[in-house]
Amino acid sequence: MVTGLEGHWPTSELRTAPSTPIRQRVELAARLPFEAARVLTAQIPDLQPLTGWALVKDLADRTDASLATTRWDTGSVFAAVAALAGPDLLTRILRQLPSGFALLFGRAELNPAA
């Protein structure tokens, strides 16, 4: 699939992507541009994934960017990933992730009632 993102895909967000089940990682990789898929599948999933906000703070620290800029950039990359993943796969992935990721993917953060 040609998306126009090849060669311009910001992979730093994908390098720090949280752990997702293998089936969803493979399914997502099949929908991403080659370079992004290669980075995603080469990673060893984190045993203790960061929350969405912790991911943004970690990226900001490592790139020496402001939190606002990093939040914007991360949201932009994840919005592109969401579009490529499609709603069904994205829903399955979000169910596996810690809090804060739905917002980064452009979705409302819905928590089940206690």
**pTM of structure:** 0.71
Q: Where are the domains positioned within the chain? A: 12-104
Residues 13-62 pLDDT 10s: 454 455 557 788 889 999 999 998 898 888 777 777 889 999 999 999 99
14 token code pair? 């994908």
* Rounded mean pLDDT, 66-78: 95
Q: How far is CA 93 from CA 21, 55, 105, in A?
A: 8, 16, 11
Residues 83-104 pLDDT 10s: 999 999 999 999 888 889 999 9
Chain centroid to CA 57: 14
For residues 37 and 30, give the distance between their C-alpha atoms in angstroms, rounded to a whole number.
7
> How much is the pLDDT for 64?
95
* Rounded mean pLDDT, 60-78: 94
